[in-house]
């Protein structure tokens, strides 16, 4: 990890330079976005439909499930407000 002052970091960043060597990415956390594994059983027809849609969009099955659930939860959150 490259050592630099805050001013040097800001100047390099503002100039469009690469500051990644000054970042300690081992300590990076995403509060509220930590991952937890869950197991969900789906009927075969649902998995096949998910796979077709995921292939059409060029994403993984897991990605489409996450996006769709996130969209639904956001709708529910807005409805409750």
> Residues 21-78: pLDDT tens digits?
888 888 778 788 888 899 999 999 999 999 999 999 999 999 999 999 999 999 999 9
Q: What is the pLDDT of residue 81?
A: 86
Q: For residue 29, what pLDDT is reported?
A: 81
Kindly list the domain boundaries of the chain, sorted by start residue. 1-34, 35-81
pLDDT given at position 44? 98
Core vs surface per residue 38-75: b (16+ CB within 10 A) or e: eeeeeeeeeeeebeeebeeeeeeeeebeeeeeeeeeee
Measure the N-to-C terminal CA separation of the chain; round to a whole number of Å: 45
**How high is the pLDDT of residue 67?**
94
* Range 35-81: architecture per CATH: Orthogonal Bundle (1.10)
Output the CA angle 17-21-22, nearest 5 degrees: 90
């Amino acid at each position: 990890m490259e050592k630099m002052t805050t001013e040097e970091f800001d100047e390099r960043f503002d100039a469009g330079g690469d500051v990644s060597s000054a970042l300690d990415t081992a300590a990076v956390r995403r509060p509220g976005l930590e991952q937890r594994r869950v197991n969900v059983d789906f009927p075969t027809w649902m998995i096949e439909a998910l796979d077709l849609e995921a292939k059409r969009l060029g994403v993984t099955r897991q990605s489409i499930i996450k996006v769709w659930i996130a969209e639904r939860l956001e709708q529910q959150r807005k409805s409750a407000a």
